[in-house]
Structure formats: structure tokens, C-alpha cells
Amino acid sequence: MSVCKVPELQAIGVDNYRNALFSRLLSNAQAKGWHDCYDMLTYHYRMHRDIADFPNNRFYGGKLIEALEAQQSPIPPDILPKESQFQELFGQSRVVFIPSRRDPKSKLNDDEAILAKELVKVVAEMHGPNFNINRSVGVITPYRAQIANILRDIPPDLQEVAVDTVERFQGSERDVIILSLAVKSTAQLANMQSMNRAGVDRKLNVALTRAKSYLIILGNEEVLEKNGPVQRPYPPHQAKRGYFHNPLAKAKMPDLF
């Protein structure tokens, strides 16, 4: 059990054993109004403004400021060849949501695994000779089973692309992040969360703030909508603009891949 039920510990702010010492110290200072005891770095050098918009307002009170002009640049019109089926995806929004069909298997989603693998290939194509295995793209997913599912049959030259849990991505960044949620129920979403005393989901925060240029979210729309807007891991206004229909769900699937 991570929840602390010892009254003496609760009295000094220890209500969850998962919370780090400095997290508790910060919460204590904020609760007591000791504003001279902490500060916040406001300028950031990673995310494009469109990607930062949602986590900035959800987790940081709208205080984050883009430090570089490149973080506010429009999407290049020739990001992919005109004939590319993903031209629309990468050409209209830096935050993209692709709905997956619900998979009966636990902690696995075959739709998302296929899409993630194909998107990694597209990113490699998009970067061309500038593609860097350690910087260009990464895939975040909460389950080891889904990691193996994604890595299965991935091209040999892309085997070293990082496909891992959010904990392993802490402190790192990629030009493009693909987030595969692989959930079939709201109970799974609840188990994935790591809430601090302020009600902020630390894992969700990390997952949404690793991307520099594009954030692509794969998940079952029905499950995410049932979980409510507070925990839904994408900004509704951007998701509407960046909504990309799942090509695998079409009755007669075109030869997209």
C-alpha cells in the first residue's frame, strides 16, 4: 500500500509513500505560503508552443514561456511528399490523436503496435539523412507487453529506437514522441496514474512533455472519454484539429503501409 494511514506521518505531510521528499517539501512550503522557499523555471527550450499548450495550462498554471523562435514556427508545407498518406497527419497539427480499436487482451493493443511501428518508419523517412536513432523519435507505453508488441517485426535498422515506459523517458526528449496508451478500461488508466498532493498526474506530465516537434497519441477514444476531461491525455481543441482516423479500422483497409 502506498497510501500512508499513520496519523503522526500524515500530520507532517506524508500521505503517500510514493511521494518524493522534495515533492513533500514543496507541497508543504506552498501550503504554508512560504513563497521565498521555492521558485519555478519559466523558460523552456524543448516543446513547440502547440505541444506545450496543454501541459502548460494543466500542470504549470500557464507560466511556461518558449525561449526559442523555433518553438513557435509554423509547420513546414513540405514536411512530407504530397503523395504521402501521412501528409495530412503531420501537416495540420503538432498534436495528433489516432483512435485505436479496443483490444480484448490486457495491457496490449495490436492496432497501436502496428501504427506505432509504421509511424516510426514515417519519421525516419521524414528526417531522411538527418534521422538520428537517439534523438528523432521515441515510443512511450505503460506496459512491458506492449513494448514487446511494438518491437516485434520492427525493421532491423530501427531496432534501437527507444520504446519504453514513461519512467525510462524521464529527463529525455525526442523530436517526435508516439504515446501508445494500450488501455481497454478506465481502471487501467487509474492504475497508470501517479498523483501528487496537488492532484497532478506526474506520469502524464512527463509523457506529454518529452516531444519537441510532434506528439502523437494512440488510444481507445471511448475509454479516454469515459475517464473525463481532467485525466484525458490530450487537449480537446488540438485533438479536434489533429484527429486522424485509424486506417486499420476501415472496412476495406487501403494499402497504407
Residue 64 has pLDDT above 60, yes or no: yes
pLDDT (tens digit per residue) in 204-256:
999 999 999 999 999 988 888 776 544 455 554 445 556 677 766 653 433 43
pLDDT (tens digit per residue) in 86-137:
767 788 889 988 999 999 988 999 999 999 999 999 999 889 999 999 999 9
Phi-psi group of 17: left, alpha or beta (phi > 0 → left; psi -120 to 50 → alpha; rest → beta): alpha
- The predicted pLDDT at position 9 comes to 87
CA 88 to chain centre: 20
What's the average model confidence in pLDDT over 37-60?
A: 93
Residue ranges per structural domain of the chain: 7-37, 79-249
Q: What is the CATH number of domain 79-249?
A: 3.40.50.300
- The predicted pLDDT at position 229 comes to 45
Higher pLDDT, 125 or 146: 146
- Whether pTM > 0.75 for this model: the answer is yes
pLDDT category of residue 74 using cuts at 50, 70 and 90: very high
Listed residue (232, 213, 234, 235) closest to 224, CA to CA: 232
Count of H helices and E strands in the chain? 11, 7
Helix pair 144-151, 110-127: axis angle to 10 deg: 50
- The predicted pLDDT at position 187 comes to 82
pLDDT (tens digit per residue) in 166-194:
999 999 999 999 999 999 988 887 777 77
- Cβ–Cβ under 8 Å, residues 2 and 17: yes
Higher pLDDT, 199 or 209: 209
pLDDT category of residue 76 using cuts at 50, 70 and 90: confident
19-28, 74-83, 135-144 — most confident range? 135-144
- The predicted pLDDT at position 130 comes to 95
Q: Which residues lie below 8 Å from residue 186, measured CB to CB, with a gap of 6+?
A: 223, 226, 227
CA 225 to chain centre: 16
Higher pLDDT, 1 or 160: 160
Phi-psi group of 171: left, alpha or beta (phi > 0 → left; psi -120 to 50 → alpha; rest → beta): left
- The predicted pLDDT at position 249 comes to 66
